[in-house]
Homo-oligomer: A and B are copies of this chain.
C-alpha cells in the first residue's frame, strides 16, 4: 500500500483489561508514524515544525476501521501514504499490519497551521514539493 513504513511493538502500556490494544493507544502509534514521515520524507521533524517554524499540523478529521485486534508483543507495521494535498491540508492513508493480517486502516486530514496566521496557512513551498513527490505519479523536476 505504501513504501513508507514504521514498525512499532505493542507494549504493556497499549493494552487494556481485555488483553488487546486499547484503541486510543493506536492513535499514539499513528501519530508517531506521522512524525517519522514528516522527519524522513518531508525533511521537517516535529521539533522543527513546532519550534523554529512556529507551526503545527492538527488533525481535522479521521475515519478508521479496526479490522482485527492486536495483542501484547505484536510487532505492527504502519504504512503511510498521502492521498491528496490542498492549500493548507494533506490527506493521509495509514494501514497497520501484523504478519499478513490487516489490523486497521485510517484516512485522515491534517491542516498546516501557524501561530502567525493563528490558524491554517499555505504549505511552505519545500514541504508542498515534497508532499507532491510523495503523492507520486510523474514527478518531473522535483
- A residues near B (Cβ < 8 Å) are 11-13, 15-20, 22-25, 27-28, 31-32, 35, 45-47, 50-51, 56, 58-66, 69, 71-73
Contacts and interface: CB of A to CB of B under 8 A. Distances in A.
A32 B71 CA distance: 15
A86 to B, nearest CB: 16
Contact residues of A: prevailing secondary structure: mixed
A20 B58 contact: yes
27 contacts: A12-B17, A12-B22, A12-B35, A12-B46, A12-B50, A13-B22, A15-B17, A16-B16, A17-B18, A17-B19, A18-B50, A19-B50, A22-B31, A23-B58, A24-B25, A24-B27, A47-B71, A47-B72, A51-B72, A58-B66, A59-B66, A60-B65, A61-B63, A61-B64, A62-B63, A62-B64, A63-B63
